[in-house]
Amino acid sequence: MLDEPASAHPPRRPAPGRLGVGVVGAGRVGAVLGAALRAAGHAVVGVSAVSEASLERAATLLPGVPVLPVPDVVERAELVLLAVPDDVLPDLVAGLAATGRWQAGQLVVHASGRHGTAVLEPARAAGAIPLALHPAMTFTGTSLDLLRVRDAVIGVTAAAPVLPVAQALVVEVGAEPVVVAEADRALYHAALSHGSNHLVTLVAQAAEALRAAGLEQTGRVLGPLLHAALDSALRAGDDALTGPVARGDAGTLAAHRAVLSAAAADGAVGDDLPAAHLALARATARRARAQGRLGAAAADAVDAALADGATTPEPGPPGTDRPETGDTA
């Protein structure tokens, strides 16, 4: 199927005002965005797919679209959507330029969060129009994502004369465009990755610790707490902080360190958990101190509990500078 010549599948002509879209990479992102553009009225004229999962995804989300080699997809398309891993993108763009595949006036769009349009310079040099469109969402690679795209923000980077084109494409699939400067693209992506990818690790570690404590229904226990914490953090930022750092409970923090280290030593939890907990507790304490959430004595006690080589302190009388929060987490 992948070796069939392009002539075996005559290009599907888009309707007036619509674009012929070629999707390079039928992964979770490419197949969904291709389907979203198709739903917006554009014609998907070809898709590249190699693995069994990608072939199945293309058949499910882009039925009737010919599966072709990458050069044939690019040759057919007025808009080329490059949905490949970040580290693959530069060589792919350069390789297609070296073989003369890019066409003047062709829209070349990538979905990488890390890269702006500079990575598409070889295509631009051949007369193509580079656009960077990154959906700030996670993908399952199923039709469920078509609904989620409509509620998503897409980070847009493009030269000023063609920025409206990029924004219009985003609006057409039902999402909201947000302009990200070329120089800020990596920082933008780092922020999203830190907030979403590391959240998965954090939740998995918390669930692991609960199982070690004998609780099996971890989702039931964590769900309400995490949903409330996320909602509060999105609304109030650092002011949403609760828990032992916010209360200045140095003894509790030291006890947490000790029990997590012991659990890791016994193999009950991963050895990554104590270090991750300590790093986040220290970051939380620094932010709480900087915002004046803790008095000097409470902040010093928290720092001491989180210091290298710290031991569990004896609980002392409540300090006058300890905040009274009434929270439980």
The one-character DSSP state at 141 is S
The answer as to whether 233 is a domain residue is yes
My answer on whether 54 and 154 are in the same domain is yes
My answer on whether 204 and 143 are in the same domain is no
Backbone region of residue 243 per phi and psi (left: phi > 0; alpha: psi in -120 to 50; beta: other values) = left
For residue 17, what pLDDT is reported?
60
The answer as to whether 314 is a domain residue is no
Sign of CA dihedral 168, 172, 177, 180: negative
My answer on whether 125 and 239 are in the same domain is no
How distant is the alpha carbon of residue 133 from its chain centre? 13
Tell me which H or E stretch contains 48. Answer: strand 43-48
My answer on whether 153 and 202 are in the same domain is no
The answer as to whether 329 is a domain residue is no
For residue 309, what pLDDT is reported?
78
My answer on whether 172 and 213 are in the same domain is no
Question: Residues 247-297: pLDDT tens digits?
Answer: 999 999 999 999 999 999 999 999 999 999 999 999 999 999 999 989 899
My answer on whether 28 and 124 are in the same domain is yes
Contact between residue 62 and residue 44 where contact means Cβ atoms under 8 Å apart: yes
Domain coverage including residue 105: 6-180
For the chain, the domain total comes to: 2
CA distances for 26 relative to 3, 205, 277, angstroms: 17, 32, 37
Other Cβ atoms within 10 Å of 1 Cβ, number: 8
DSSP assignments along 283-321, one per residue: HHHHHHHHTT-S-HHHHHHHHHHTSTT--PPPP-PPPTT
Spans of the chain, pLDDT less than 70: 1-17, 310-329
**Which residues, other chains included, contact 185 with Cβ-Cβ below 8 Å and sequence gap of 6+?**
113, 114, 115, 116, 132, 155, 157
For residue 327, what pLDDT is reported?
58
Tell me which H or E stretch contains 57. Answer: helix 52-61
According to DSSP, the β-strands at 20-24 and 107-110 are unpaired
The answer as to whether 74 is a domain residue is yes
My answer on whether 165 and 99 are in the same domain is yes
For residue 16, what pLDDT is reported?
40
Give this prediction's pTM: 0.85
The answer as to whether 319 is a domain residue is no
Angle at 155 between CA 154 and CA 161, to 5 degrees: 110
Orientation of helix 272-290 relative to helix 296-305, angle to 10°: 170
Measured distance CA(82)–CA(261) in Å, rounded? 45
Measured distance CA(173)–CA(175) in Å, rounded? 6
Measured distance CA(143)–CA(35) in Å, rounded? 9
